[in-house]
Amino acid sequence: MASNIPIPLPPRTPTPPPDDHPNASDQSANLDNQDTLSPLVETFPPQRVALDTEDRNRLSPTRASFNLSPSDATAQTGQGDNGASGPFNFQPMTMAKSPVVKSNIGQRRGHKYKHSSISHQIFLEPPPRAPLALPNSLPIPTWAEYRASMSKDQKTRFWWSICHMFVAAYTLWSAHGSLAMTALSHLILFDSLGALLCVAVDVLGNFEVWKRSSVRHPFGLERAEVLAGFAMCVLLLFMGMDLISHNLQHFLESSSGHEPHHPHAHERVSVGSVDITAVLAISSTLVSAIGLKNHGRIGKTIRFGYIESLPSVLSNPSHFLTLSCSTLLLLLPLVSIKLYNWLDVLLSGTIAVSMCVIGVRLVKTLGSMLLMSYSGTGVSDVIRDIEADPAVFGIDDARFWQVHYGLCMANLKLRVSGSEENLVRLRERISSLIRNRLGGGYGSGGQKWEVTLQFAVEKA
């Protein structure tokens, strides 16, 4: 029974009608009449007659099969007896082989929603930031600007420091084989370098970059003076070691009975005469110490309790060592030759050891300053006095550090209790205590201390 059911033919796509409709001439003729398109006049073409009941039943999807008559198949192909075409007209088209180029010339690239009306509520512009209180950097003077800014007094001090170096060279040349005179020439060289450094620092003080803080140099260029002083102290330490090696070599040569392998062309100063070299050393050192104040800042940084009570020039260990050595060399020609040799070696060894001691002390002090720490004394006493205050519960953090020769900083974090007025007085008391104990007090010429305190108020 199932094998007798005919297989329905698939539907075909109708062909669209041609552009030249057979009734186009009639329609163009009717357009000349103004009542042609009026809805009140029956001029529209008759509608297509609906399918009869039999055809509708035959094409209904509820039936088991679709029976297409030969006339229906002919109608769907669009090729009737009268040659009429279907409602669609598919014409073959040739696609272009060249790629489609999209032109975006003149269009804005990037984020295109920022300036829209809705985005003003989403993408807010950042608030204007206040300019920095510190400049990013300050111009560093060139050598021409450095020379042009020197005053007459500064030029005089500069040339004097050069003359001081010539005194050191002359002292070394006229040592006459004396180890003590050789040690004195090293000390004079160290003093002349200190005098030259003081002049360079004084001239750099004419420029704003030296003391004013910036983002690149938070403490100005004053820390460069600390670095130069550190290099000088290392040089002093090595000169002391060189003198010690010369003394050991001289001792070994004299004990073995051999003559020194470096003969000296000059003779010793005659007995009873005045050593001109020692006089030049004393005078040049006094002029540089009083006029140029060389090693003044180093002298404030390093103190020895034995000479601290002496006058300002002699309280500096470098000046004290140079002047004492020069004075003893003035007295050596008054003694016998045998005693002179022993005193010369003893004085040279003493000066060499003193140079090493001062060099080590200065290297340690200036090295800690370069590492942003404080190596002075009295910090433990200050901490003890702050903790003894009844308004202070404890010290959470305490940092003491030195930036350069003239500036130190103290940062403390305390747990305190009391009213607002008592806390203000406590802040002033702690600041005054640190400045008086560590800075030497007002008017003493010591280091400047900047104190920062942070209070964590607790309920009693």
Supply 423's token pair. Answer: 């806390």
> What's the pLDDT score for residue 320?
84
Q: What is the pLDDT of residues 384-405, one digit of tens each?
A: 999 988 888 889 989 998 888 8
- The better pLDDT of the pair 79, 374 is held by 374
Q: Where in the chain is the domain with CATH 1.20.1510?
A: 143-370
Report, as an integer, the average pLDDT of 103-131. Answer: 59
pLDDT greater than 80 at residue 437? yes
| Percent of the chain's residues with pLDDT above 90 | 15
- Reported pTM: 0.64
Q: What is the pLDDT of residue 108?
A: 52
The span from the CA of 198 to the CA of 194, in Å, is 6
% residues pLDDT > 70 (the chain): 65
Question: What strand order describes the sheet that includes 407-416?
Answer: 392-404, 407-416, 448-457
User: Exposure pattern of 29-66 as b/e (b: 16+ CB <10 Å)?
Assistant: eeeeeeeeeeeeeeeeeeeeeeeeeeeeebeeeeeeeb
Cα–Cα distance for residue pair 413/410, rounded to 1 Å: 10
Q: pLDDT by residue (tens digit) across 231-278?
A: 998 999 999 999 998 888 877 877 766 555 444 434 455 555 567 888
Instruction: Write down the pLDDT at residue 52.
Output: 47
Q: Which tens digits make up the pLDDT trace of 272-295? A: 556 788 888 889 888 888 888 777
CA dihedral 76, 82, 88, 92 (to 10 degrees): 100
According to the model, what pLDDT value does residue 411 have? 92
Q: Which residue has the higher pLDDT, 455 or 51?
A: 455
Annotate 286-311 with DSSP letters as a single string.
Answer: HHIIIII-TTHHHHHHS--TTTTTS-
Structure tokens at 200: 């360079």
Distance (Å) of CA 177 to CA 182, 246, 268, 377, 438 = 8, 12, 8, 43, 46
Q: What is the rounded distance in angstroms from the CA atom of residue 398 to the CA atom of residue 379? A: 10
User: 78-82, 150-154, 160-164, 326-330: lowest mean pLDDT where?
Assistant: 78-82
Between CA 171 and CA 165 the distance in angstroms is 10
Band of pLDDT at residue 328, cut at 50, 70 and 90: confident
What is the token pair recorded at 205?
């003080």
Q: Residues spanned by CATH 3.30.70.1350 within the chain?
A: 379-457
Higher-pLDDT residue of 137 and 113 is 137
Residue type, 275: D
Q: What is the mean pLDDT of the chain?
A: 75
pLDDT above 60 for 382: yes
- Per-residue pLDDT reduced to its tens digit, 332-363: 777 777 787 888 888 889 999 999 998 898 89
Q: Is the pLDDT of residue 302 over 60?
A: yes
Instruction: Give the pLDDT score at 238.
Output: 93
| Averaged pLDDT for residues 299-314 | 66
Show Cβ contacts of residue 152 under 8 Å, excluding neighbours closer than 6 positions.
none
pLDDT at 235: 92
In the CATH scheme, what architecture does the domain 143-370 have? Up-down Bundle (1.20)
Residue bearing the bigger pLDDT, 7 or 420: 420
Angstrom distances, CA of residue 431 to CA of 52, 425, 428, 434: 114, 10, 5, 5
The CATH architecture one would assign to domain 379-457 is 2-Layer Sandwich (3.30)
Query: What whole-number distance in Å separates Cα of residue 361 and Cα of residue 304?
Result: 10
